[in-house]
Amino acid sequence: MKFTLQATDTHSMARAGELTTAHGTIQTPMFMPVGTAGTVKSVHQRELKDDIHAQIILGNTYHLYLRPGLEILEKAGGLHAFMNWSGPILTDSGGFQVYSLSDRRKIREEGVSFSSHIDGSKHFFSPENVMDIQRTIGADIIMAFDECTHYPCDHRHAKRSMEMTHRWLKRCIARFNSTENKYGYEQVLFPIIQGSTFSDLRKQSAEFIAGCDLPGNAIGGLSVGEPAEDMYKITREVCSILPASKPRYLMGVGTPANILECIALGIDQFDCVMPTRNARNGMLFTGEGIVNIRNEKWKEVFSEVDPDGKCFVDHYYNRAYLRHLTISKEILAAQIATLHNLSFYIRLVTEARERILSGTFAGWKNEMVKKLVRRI
């Protein structure tokens, strides 16, 4: 895997780059649609490619491991073949889901035992087997197995958790290095910085992770309920430590405004369920602000879903129709809103990239953020 830094903004830390994977080159900053169980909910793979212009998608190890399971994924030749997605795939490590979804889970030094949310069956994730699982899923980018602390979290717990995440990382690296690429193409491992909202811990973690010299670096444990200012502060501090020559991935972030602010702080890579999950509840992100399409005010508004939108749905359908579908719980409502939101997110980071390359990012970002947070 190769990362080329193409430009750094003069008025911020924003960067434009190119990340080359076995399944294609990704232009950064990038946004990765979340494809939890081998599908970006309500979106066809050809729409991801042709209408949303997704460059990479994210799969969830926890979900894929439980269903369809590794045996089927391996027989299919990996997730790319199983779902017929030819672009790059990043998988999270399953850690976050184990903590947040599983009713009963027990974290020990060895790993995490948990019960399936589907049938209650018992399972065990360790740094080692999570490497094996992600290799079998066939991810281009494999994430280290970490512990993600809740917010708020006291310093003592955050420190202890971070230290275990570091020890787990060493085990991840050892296992990753002693195993082969599963399907003949390159797979790489990204480590994850933890340390909650404590600057001293984050600094220590960033230095440890940077020292591992892996092909990219991720920041976990943010966007878990802390104030946005804390997220920005930690991101800024961590980015000042991480090497400029490698991609920086801020996990699970966020709103369109969060993403622009974090691009300005030096982040290259994002994922978030917000554009897809909120779409299914009728929330549309636009360049003029946030639309709740369920609102009575759209009842007789027959103008386009988003006149400035770049996806066919923005011009094919009107707001009153989309409101009707949403209120009526029609599947097409989720389809339209998801296509719109993902297209909007990806267009936003693409424009950020263009602005960085042309030297007009910082001013544009400040203007955009004001509009993005409005409720219209």
Q: Does 321 bind a second copy (CB under 8 A)?
A: yes
Task: By CB under 8 A, name the one of 174, 244, 331, 376 that touches a second copy.
Answer: 331
- How many residues contact a second copy, by CB under 8 A? 39
Least separation in angstroms between residue 332's CB and a second copy is 4
Q: Does 312 bind a second copy (CB under 8 A)?
A: yes
Residue 251: C-alpha distances to residues 107, 143, 273, 345 (Å): 21, 10, 11, 15
Q: Does 244 bind a second copy (CB under 8 A)?
A: no
- Residues numbered 267-306 forming contacts with a second copy, rule: CB under 8 A: 299-300, 302
Residues 6 or more apart whose CB falls under 8 angstroms from that of 147 comprise 95, 99, 107, 161, 164, 165, 168, 194
- Residues numbered 52-81 forming contacts with a second copy, rule: CB under 8 A: 67-68, 71-72, 75-76, 81
Query: Nearer Cβ to a second copy, position 108 or 299?
Result: 299
Q: Does 44 bind a second copy (CB under 8 A)?
A: yes
Catalytic positions: 92, 271
**Contact between residue 141 and residue 190 where contact means Cβ atoms under 8 Å apart:** yes
Q: Does 370 bind a second copy (CB under 8 A)?
A: no
Axis-axis angle for helices 127-137, 155-177 (nearest 10): 50
Count other Cβ atoms within 10 Å, centred on residue 236.
15
Question: Which token pair is 362?
Answer: 């910082």
Task: By CB under 8 A, name the one of 330, 359, 367, 376 that touches a second copy.
Answer: 330
**What residue has token string 């811990």?**
201
Q: Does 20 bind a second copy (CB under 8 A)?
A: no
Task: By CB under 8 A, name the one of 19, 43, 90, 131 that touches a second copy.
Answer: 43
Burial class (CB in 10 A: 0-12, 13-18, 19+), 103: exposed
Query: Nearer Cβ to a second copy, position 174 or 331?
Result: 331
Residue type, 125: F
Q: Does 198 bind a second copy (CB under 8 A)?
A: no
Residues 6 or more apart whose CB falls under 8 angstroms from that of 143 comprise 61, 90, 91, 92, 93, 134, 189, 190, 192, 218
**What residue has token string 């460059």?**
55
Q: Does 376 bind a second copy (CB under 8 A)?
A: no
Binding site for a second copy (CB under 8 A): 37-39, 41-46, 67-68, 71-72, 75-76, 81-84, 299-300, 302, 312-313, 316-318, 320-321, 324-325, 327-328, 330-332, 334-336
